[in-house]
Structure 1
Amino acid sequence: MPAFVGAIKINDISGSAVVNIGDVFHIEPRSQTKTFAGAGSFNTGNYLRVKNGYSVTHTVDADNVDNSNIGNT
Structure 2
Amino acid sequence: MPAIVGAVQVISIGSSSVFNIGDVYKIMPLSNAKTFSGAGSFNTGDGLEVVNHYSSTNTYDNDTVDQGNFFNA
What residue is the counterpart of 1:45 in the other structure? 45
What is the distance in 1 between the residues matched to 2:36 and 2:64? 16
Contact 1:32 1:67 in 2 (8 A): no
The residue number in structure 1 matching 2:63 is 63
Q: Which runs of 5+ in 2 are unaligned?
A: 1-14, 17-28
User: How far is the alpha carbon of 1:70 from its aligned partner?
Assistant: 0.4
Indicate the SS of the match to 2:41.
coil
CA radius of gyration, larger in: 2
Is the helix fraction higher in 1 or 2? Answer: 2
Task: Map residues 1-73 of structure 1 onto 2, 5 A cutoff.
Answer: 30-73=30-73
Percent of matched pairs sharing the same residue: 57
Q: Which 4+ stretches in 1 moved above 6 angstroms?
A: none
RMSD over aligned CA atoms reads 2.3
TM-score, structure 1 as length reference: 0.53
CA displacement, residues 19-48 of structure 1 (integer Å, 9 cap, x when unaligned): xxxxxxxxxx83231111110011111111
Q: Which whole-Å CA distance do the structure 2 matches of 1:64 and 1:50 have between them?
A: 32
TM-score in terms of structure 2 length: 0.53
Name stretches of at least 5 consecutive residues in structure 1 with no aligned partner.
1-14, 17-28
